[in-house]
Amino acid sequence: MSVNPMELQQSAVVTEITRTPLTGSRKIYVESPSGSCRVPMREVTLSPTLLRGKGDTAEYEINEPLRIYDTSGPYTDATAEINLHAGLDRTQRQAWIDARADTVQLDGFSSHFTRERIAEVDDIPTFENKPLPLVAKGDANVSQMHYARQGIITPEMEYIAIRENMGVAELSQTEIAERNSMGMPAEITAEFVRVEVAEGRAVIPASINHPELEPMIIGRNFLVKINANIGNSVLTSSIEEEVEKMVWSTRWGGDTVMDLSTGKNIHETREWILRNSPVPIGTVPVYQALEKVNGIAEDLTWELFRDTLIEQAEQGVSYFTLHAGVLLRYVPMTADRLTGIVSRGGSIMAKWCLAHHKENFLYTHFEEICEIMKKYDVTFSLGDGLRPGCIADANDEAQFSELKTLGELTKIAWKHDVQVMIEGPGHVPMHKIKENMEEQIKHCHDAPFYTLGPLVTDIAPGYDHITSGIGAAQIGWYGTAMLCYVTPKEHLGLPNRDDVKTGIITYKISAHAADLAKGHPVSQMRDNAMSKARFEFRWEDQFNIGLDPDTARAYHDETLPKESAKVAHFCSMCGPKFCSMKITQEIRDEFGTGAAQVEKGVQVQKAMEEKSIEFLKQGSEIYRAPTDAA
Amino acid sequence: MSVNPMELQQSAVVTEITRTPLTGSRKIYVESPSGSCRVPMREVTLSPTLLRGKGDTAEYEINEPLRIYDTSGPYTDATAEINLHAGLDRTQRQAWIDARADTVQLDGFSSHFTRERIAEVDDIPTFENKPLPLVAKGDANVSQMHYARQGIITPEMEYIAIRENMGVAELSQTEIAERNSMGMPAEITAEFVRVEVAEGRAVIPASINHPELEPMIIGRNFLVKINANIGNSVLTSSIEEEVEKMVWSTRWGGDTVMDLSTGKNIHETREWILRNSPVPIGTVPVYQALEKVNGIAEDLTWELFRDTLIEQAEQGVSYFTLHAGVLLRYVPMTADRLTGIVSRGGSIMAKWCLAHHKENFLYTHFEEICEIMKKYDVTFSLGDGLRPGCIADANDEAQFSELKTLGELTKIAWKHDVQVMIEGPGHVPMHKIKENMEEQIKHCHDAPFYTLGPLVTDIAPGYDHITSGIGAAQIGWYGTAMLCYVTPKEHLGLPNRDDVKTGIITYKISAHAADLAKGHPVSQMRDNAMSKARFEFRWEDQFNIGLDPDTARAYHDETLPKESAKVAHFCSMCGPKFCSMKITQEIRDEFGTGAAQVEKGVQVQKAMEEKSIEFLKQGSEIYRAPTDAA
């Protein structure tokens, strides 16, 4: 298909990118004490609480604005200038990288494919200001793990501490004690971040060639993260659609985005996404490698694959899913499964192994891959190519055998100070989920777990965001660090814009529910702000504090469309005549709150106990009057 | 508002009721061995599996039809005649009731309100063939628990055993052993049903005045059930809309329906629903009682409330939510809560207690209520009026104090052989859910638990079907017997048709996930049928086996609209060129399955182990070739 590049470029700039802040929110920037970084956050403005009175004589209490962890980048900053052709501002993180003085800018691209591509491509829109790549100087290792292990707190770590720690100063002593009792620090410090990365319990996926990203961390002692997959396939989609999908995904809370494109122009699509992405980008390099051999798995070679890794590392991909644990000897273990191998990457590697009767080249070349990873700080996401594709196949020998191999590879990667996370299933019934987490921790030495769902049943195509959101919440609570979203179209088709949003919101719910259950320091503040707004009938605040203000507002307006209903002290459930919330206010008026309530409560209890005893003394005979119903 | 009744009746009959069977399904009836009952089920017709060949020479293997538990009643039976004005056929269950010869038909209604209503109402459509009520003869107790405790297996119990047990004959010995190891019987027998009911671990909500219902059971050793709430409110809705909501709810899997109407004409709405409902109907009688005193809680009296109970019992309501555990001394415990009392029934009772400084009349008249319940076989659903309304208030003193009182009331009800279930929260973070189940079992002596959600976070208005579906799946797994659905409109507005469906499907997912995790005998068959269809690219079967064939089909067609794509051996994820599923087939071709696979697998493993040792011997030095990236 020949396309006029100017047309595409125009439409990418003019019509597609979502730029408005979320309703009721504004972007703020928090400076680090050292002045080394500015951390963007979202702040929801809250209306005051009406204490008493009406109109001119009304008395109000201020509600402090609520800070929310913000993945949306400059797109939701009303004052930011966005030019897709220039890409996002690189200056903040570029300065940190340059200051370390351990990288060098190449004067061309190391990948053969990239060089050919630049020379040949002229019928699709390319990113005009494609930056030349950085690479580690000489034998330097530029991974965050390497720095962490040397005791260095990088600006990335400082940034992350502020980002994760938002609002913690407001915690009460009781809350701090509760957090500590759950094994969580009350405050996330930069040093805590460093230790977690040094020990491999957390990763900071932050390629040196993607300075546009806002650093984030994945580890079970931090907020649970979510990943959104995007990508054009051989059947549909275009480049600017893909960029907007990334913007759209991060708007609703995607912490990382995986570009799983499988069609043509993968390289160019990825460039557009990377240059405009505020979040780390992950890929499955074998998808592109397979395109290069026209979809014939057995034609893959290590040399071609290696070139693909370098191509993507020099573009700025921050983590690679590599199915290095699909060993030839595990393949027959899948033959009796109900659904065999369902991982696309896994089946590609299995096919290659079978065709050549050789061991998986990702496994045999693993140390060479480590050498590449550490030169760009690309993080391993060791893929679970043998994950179960249905409830019946969960937790089987093939799956757990591969997991053990991934654990062995983790040790090798760590020997090189290369960051690692481990991918997990898939389809698992609830009673078998915990075993997944336990086996992962045991065999993979505390490396962060990154799971797809899991889906807790197979019977709901069209609703697999929910079947998997249930499993995701659970496994997140058990310790999984990042949850890969599933959209309503899973198993059926390619997600559109609404599906992506639904998938993200569902996974934000799962991740947040897990944070609550794990006692992350800042997680409950948002729930409490919502509950207070709900109790006080501050409708606009309820909408705006929520994960999706637009949908909440639309649903409210469907029943009570008038503007006056948004300040009404009642809702559509009970109507204006009777209201549960109002009665609670009366209880407070009668018993007071705090100490007063307790004292008055004791009196009432005493009085009631006396009555109760009296009631018991009388037996219940008096209540046995025969009914006249018979 | 004055309405022409003929207009309403016309529209109810002509335009509203959904009558088509689910796509790919048909209604079947399974006869009990004793011939005492015919149990309706849904059967999904499956297409055959293509073994080999094409066109005329293709060889196929038959896939047996899949049986599914069916709550939809005659509405999905293409051959059934439906006349909303006559109501559903009563003959099967009426015969069972008559055969027991322990009831008598009254020649009028015992409730003053009903009598007045019949005399007065002329501007709204009433059910013309309103049947005269049955009541227990003399001192007879007509509850299923009473029969069960006398060792009697009722036809209702036989019916339920067949219904729950569907397809169990197909279980393998391994599966049966697995079920047994999880504490579940491999086969649900009528005697097992009887014992569970006799011991109070399960209830059969089946009013003698609702013979139209298809008996079902609620207990933790049976399939997890779901309830859908419907009801008009003071602000919206009409009678025929309510009837269709019931039909719509049961179509998608609602096991019971609670009519929570709060507006005018509650009595007439309920009559239309009951006479046309194949599932048990529950109510919160205090909602109607409050209407009778114009919404002023303090004007409620025991006499008025008692008349309401009798009114509803004589119409055929099968369970009553009664907030009898909201004791005056517990009320002050809620004053310091973030959201106070959020249960509507709970706050009505609290308001009454406060206004009169008297104990809750449902508590003081509890034995008298038991006398009414056993004369019609109405089941108690002891309401949790002090359930937490937000994450911050979960598992507090008020909530657990009330729970203990509900446990005491359970004992009193059981003294009367009256069936009891216990209602539960609400809003609870994941790590506090299990305690709810444990406390309930401990204090309520194994009576079935019936919970709303719980919602595991407060921050997602517009998505509370999901926040609560996560909690519901978990608490169902822990032992909750019935899950009360939540729609996307929760906290925002009144659910429409689509919201009801979304709520139901979400809760079917939660309930089914819980069944899987509990190892209910028949639960995994549907997942396996789906997975097999998925693996074999039987697209139509995938749609039809799922909870919502229409949505699955629509989603598939969005990406691949052509009819040919529904027989294509590929999907939109990978496209036609490369397919994971196909590779698994190649693995089977190479290694065979079953014994052959194991043998060949052993050979491959041996060969690979030798190679592996060789690989280890060489060290990994050879893989350390310096990358040319630097």
pLDDT score for A251 = 98
Contact between A88 and A74 under an 8 Å Cβ cutoff? The reply is yes
* Beta-sheet strand order (sheet of A38-44): A25-31, A38-44, A66-68
Quote the CA–CA distance of B103 and A302 in Å, as a whole number. 82
| Closest-CA residue of chain A to B175 | A392
Residues 6+ positions from B30 with CB-CB distance below 8 Å: B38, B39, B41, B162, B166
Q: A629, B368: Cβ pair inside 8 Å?
A: no
Q: What is the pLDDT of residues B132-172, one digit of tens each?
A: 999 999 999 999 999 999 999 999 999 999 999 875 666 67
Pick from B332, B460, B584: CB nearest A334: B584
A339 interface with B at CB cutoff 8 Å: yes
- B-contacting residues in A 357-376 (Cβ below 8 Å): 359, 364-368, 371-372, 375-376
Q: What residues does A450 pair with on adjacent strands?
A: A423, A482
Confidence of residue A174 (pLDDT cuts 50, 70, 90): confident
Query: How far off is chain A from B504, nearest CA to CA, in Å?
Result: 12
**pLDDT of A384 strictly over 60:** yes
Average pLDDT over chain A reads: 87
φ/ψ (deg, to 5) at B152: -85, 125
Interface test with B, best of A179, A233, A456, A562 (most B CBs within 10 A): A456
Q: What percent of chain B has pLDDT over 70?
A: 85
Q: A372, B627: Cβ pair inside 8 Å?
A: yes
Identify the helix (H) or strand (E) that includes residue A401.
Answer: helix A397-415
Three-class SS state of B74: helix
Q: Give Rg (Cα) of chain A.
A: 27
Sort strands B134-136 and B103-105 into parallel, antiparallel or unpaired: antiparallel
| Closest-CA residue of chain A to B433 | A517
Q: B347, A580: Cβ pair inside 8 Å?
A: yes
Quote the CA–CA distance of B506 and A589 in Å, as a whole number. 40
Higher pLDDT, A320 or A182: A320
pLDDT score for A118 = 84
Three-class SS state of A392: helix
pLDDT score for B363 = 98
- How large is the average pLDDT for residues B203-212? 98
Burial class (CB in 10 A: 0-12, 13-18, 19+), B435: middle
Confidence of residue A424 (pLDDT cuts 50, 70, 90): very high
For the ranges A20-24, B112-116, B229-233, the lowest mean pLDDT is seen at B229-233
Per the annotation, binding residues of A for substrate are: 229, 258, 287, 323, 343-345, 384-387, 423, 450
B339 interface with A at CB cutoff 8 Å: yes
Q: What residues does A28 pair with on adjacent strands?
A: A41
- How large is the average pLDDT for residues B417-428? 97
Query: How far off is chain B from A189, nearest CA to CA, in Å?
Result: 25
Quote the CA–CA distance of A471 and A454 in Å, as a whole number. 5
Higher pLDDT, A425 or A575: A425
pLDDT score for A592 = 67
The reply to whether B319 sits in an annotated binding site is: no
Query: How far off is chain B from A83, nearest CA to CA, in Å?
Result: 31
CA A581 to chain centre: 35
The CA dihedral of A206, A208, A212, A215, to the nearest 10 degrees, is 30
Q: Among candidates B289, B363, B337, which has minimal Cα distance to A587?
A: B337
What is the complex's ipTM, to 2 decimals? Answer: 0.91
* Beta-sheet strand order (sheet of B25-31): B25-31, B38-44, B66-68
- How large is the average pLDDT for residues A250-274? 91
Give the largest Cα separation in chain A, rounded: 98
pLDDT score for A56 = 85
B574 interface with A at CB cutoff 8 Å: yes
**pTM of the full structure:** 0.91
Query: How far off is chain A from B46, nearest CA to CA, in Å?
Result: 15
Residues 6+ positions from B554 with CB-CB distance below 8 Å: A462
CA B592 to chain centre: 43
Alpha-carbon separation of residue A533 from A46, A52, A63, A159, A527 (angstroms): 9, 16, 10, 31, 10
φ/ψ (deg, to 5) at A52: -160, 165
The reply to whether B574 sits in an annotated binding site is: yes
Interface test with B, best of A224, A475, A509 (most B CBs within 10 A): A509
Contact between A209 and A316 under an 8 Å Cβ cutoff? The reply is yes
Q: A351, B601: Cβ pair inside 8 Å?
A: no
The reply to whether B85 sits in an annotated binding site is: no
The reply to whether B450 sits in an annotated binding site is: yes
**Number of Cβ within a 10 Å radius of residue B597:** 19
Quote the CA–CA distance of A156 and A136 in Å, as a whole number. 17
Q: How far apart are the first and last CA of chain A?
A: 82
Query: How far off is chain B from A319, nearest CA to CA, in Å?
Result: 17
Residue type, B629: A
Q: What's the 3-state SS for A94-122?
A: HHHHHHHCCEEECCCCCCHHHHHHHHHCC
Burial track B556-593 (b if 16+ CB lie within 10 A, e otherwise): bbbbbeeeebbeeebbbbbbeebbbbebbeebbeebbe
- How large is the average pLDDT for residues B568-586? 61
pLDDT score for B56 = 86
B623 interface with A at CB cutoff 8 Å: yes
**pLDDT of A340 strictly over 80:** yes
Quote the CA–CA distance of A325 and A361 in Å, as a whole number. 10
**pLDDT of B239 strictly over 60:** yes
| Closest-CA residue of chain A to B237 | A559
pLDDT score for A584 = 74
Quote the CA–CA distance of A180 and A173 in Å, as a whole number. 11
Residue type, B617: K
HSE of A249, CA atoms in CB hemisphere, 13 A = 35
- B-contacting residues in A 56-75 (Cβ below 8 Å): none
Contacting residues of B for A429, CB less than 8 Å apart: 513, 516-517
Quote the CA–CA distance of B332 and A602 in Å, as a whole number. 9
**pLDDT of A613 strictly over 50:** no
pLDDT score for B156 = 97
The reply to whether B139 sits in an annotated binding site is: no
φ/ψ (deg, to 5) at A474: -65, -50
pLDDT score for B390 = 96
**Number of Cβ within a 10 Å radius of residue B225:** 28
Higher pLDDT, B85 or A1: B85
Q: B368, A625: Cβ pair inside 8 Å?
A: yes
pLDDT score for B515 = 96
pLDDT score for A562 = 72
Q: What is the pLDDT of residues A529-573, one digit of tens each?
A: 999 999 988 999 999 999 999 999 999 988 777 766 666 655 555
Average pLDDT over chain B reads: 87
Q: What is the pLDDT of residues B377-400, one digit of tens each?
A: 999 999 999 999 999 999 999 999
**Number of Cβ within a 10 Å radius of residue B121:** 14
Quote the CA–CA distance of B445 and B439 in Å, as a whole number. 10
Confidence of residue B587 (pLDDT cuts 50, 70, 90): confident
Residues 6+ positions from B601 with CB-CB distance below 8 Å: A329, A332, A333, A335, B591
Pick from A236, A466, A543: CB nearest B509: A466
Quote the CA–CA distance of B223 and B227 in Å, as a whole number. 13
φ/ψ (deg, to 5) at B202: -145, 155
Q: What is the pLDDT of residues A481-500, one digit of tens each?
A: 999 999 999 999 888 889 99
Q: What percent of chain A has pLDDT over 90?
A: 69
Contact between B395 and B433 under an 8 Å Cβ cutoff? The reply is no
Quote the CA–CA distance of A615 and B133 in Å, as a whole number. 34
Q: What is the pLDDT of residues B533-565, one digit of tens each?
A: 999 889 999 999 999 999 999 999 887 777 666
Q: Among candidates A480, A413, A410, which has minimal Cα distance to A221?
A: A480
Three-class SS state of B510: helix
Interface test with B, best of A531, A538, A624 (most B CBs within 10 A): A531
Quote the CA–CA distance of A219 and B382 in Å, as a whole number. 43
Contact between A258 and A282 under an 8 Å Cβ cutoff? The reply is yes
**pLDDT of B39 strictly over 60:** yes
**pLDDT of A34 strictly over 60:** yes
Identify the helix (H) or strand (E) that includes residue B88.
Answer: none
A49 interface with B at CB cutoff 8 Å: no
Q: B623, A368: Cβ pair inside 8 Å?
A: yes
Pick from A431, A518, A592: CB nearest B477: A431
Could you say which DSSP state residue B618 is in? T
B620 interface with A at CB cutoff 8 Å: yes
Interface test with A, best of B456, B478, B500, B536 (most A CBs within 10 A): B456
- A-contacting residues in B 411-470 (Cβ below 8 Å): 412, 429-431, 456-463, 466-467, 469-470
Q: What is the pLDDT of residues B314-365, one digit of tens each?
A: 999 999 999 999 999 999 999 889 999 999 999 999 999 999 999 999 999 9
pLDDT score for A1 = 29
The label of the residue with tokens 């934000």 reads A508
Q: How far apart are the first and last CA of chain B?
A: 82
Alpha-carbon separation of residue A33 from A37, A158, A162 (angstroms): 9, 9, 10
Residue type, A170: E
Quote the CA–CA distance of B239 and B228 in Å, as a whole number. 17
Q: B367, A620: Cβ pair inside 8 Å?
A: yes
Q: Among candidates A107, A517, A462, A49, which has minimal Cα distance to B435?
A: A517
Two tokens at A598? 């307790």
Handedness of CA A479, A483, A489, A494 (dihedral sign): negative
Alpha-carbon separation of residue B351 from A50, A293, A587, A593, B293 (angstroms): 23, 74, 8, 17, 14
Query: How far off is chain A from B303, nearest CA to CA, in Å?
Result: 11
- How large is the average pLDDT for residues A160-169? 82
Q: At what angle do helices B344-356 and B285-292 cross, to 10 degrees?
A: 50
**Domains observed in chain A:** 189-520 (3.20.20.540), 574-629 (no CATH)
